[in-house]
Chains A and B, each alone.
Chain A
Amino acid sequence: EAAVTQSPRNKVAVTGGKVTLSCNQTNNHNNMYWYRQDTGHGLRLIHYSYGAGSTEKGDIPDGYKASRPSQENFSLILELATPSQTSVYFCASGDRAAYEQYFGPGTRLTVL
């Protein structure tokens, strides 16, 4: 069974602080994605990656950076967290051949 894990699962941060969300996949998929989910907006793509060393902007990249140091790991970085970034964040890995995505359990981030 494909596996995508995220850490931490819950995070409370202060405004202006730095937050790093981590994602690990054991699917050996080339593509990885970061989304946020908010009531009324659904899932929105923040950043994604085609492989180690690559990061691409999604639909709402402002205020976020991403890092893909290896095939397995993809991080989302909030350099200066703001309350508007309070949300649930999902990581996913993608099989390019089948065009399917598989999601992690999500991280609930609260910025006070």
Chain B
Amino acid sequence: GQQVQQSPSSLVLQEGENAELQCNFSSTATQLQWFYQSPGGSLVSLLSNPSGTKHTGRLTSTTVTKERRSSLHISSSQTTDSGTYLCAIGTGGADRLTFGKGTQLIIQP
């Protein structure tokens, strides 16, 4: 089956530093979605980026489909960015997503 590997598994930064999160997957993805899971557990969609580069606020995602990898860059990190970031891919008709295990991001003041 499809596999989604995220790295690093955890990352500790000081407020103001930039964060770079990686997602590698085993199958060609027709869909790729990044999620944020708060420490309280709620899941929020950050952006959908199956190919190319996409920006929203302080977030930039770059997906290189042929190389089966995607990155999420968070600029000028804030303590409120702390949480777990999940990468999920869909293949074929993309009605189903396969999730990675996430990167836990801790931003210290």
Residues in A lying within 8 Å of B, measured CB to CB:
31, 33, 40-45, 48, 50, 58-59, 88, 90, 94, 96, 98-103, 105-106
Instruction: Tell me whether A42 and B90 are in contact (CB under 8 A).
Output: no
Nearest chain A residue, comparing its CB with the CB of B41: A106
Question: Which residues from chain B contact A94 at a C-beta distance below 8 Å?
Answer: 95
Instruction: Tell me whether A42 and B96 are in contact (CB under 8 A).
Output: no
- Known contacts being A42-B102, A43-B86, A43-B99, is A99 close to B94, with CB within 8 Å? yes
User: Which among B42, B94, B99 is the interface contact of A42 at CB below 8 angstroms?
Assistant: B99
Tell me the bound Cα distance from A105 to B43 in angstroms. 7
Instruction: Tell me whether B33 and A100 are in contact (CB under 8 A).
Output: yes
Instruction: Tell me whether B102 and A50 are in contact (CB under 8 A).
Output: no
B40-82 near A? 1/0 per residue, CB < 8 Å: 0111110010100000000000000000000000000000000
Write 20 A-B pairs (CB below 8 A) sorted by A numbering.
A40-B101, A41-B101, A42-B99, A42-B100, A42-B101, A42-B102, A43-B88, A44-B99, A48-B95, A48-B96, A50-B95, A58-B96, A88-B41, A98-B48, A99-B48, A99-B50, A100-B45, A101-B45, A101-B97, A103-B43
Tell me the bound Cα distance from A105 to B50 in angstroms. 25
Instruction: Tell me whether B86 and A42 are in contact (CB under 8 A).
Output: yes
Q: Is B14 an interface residue (CB 8 A)?
A: no
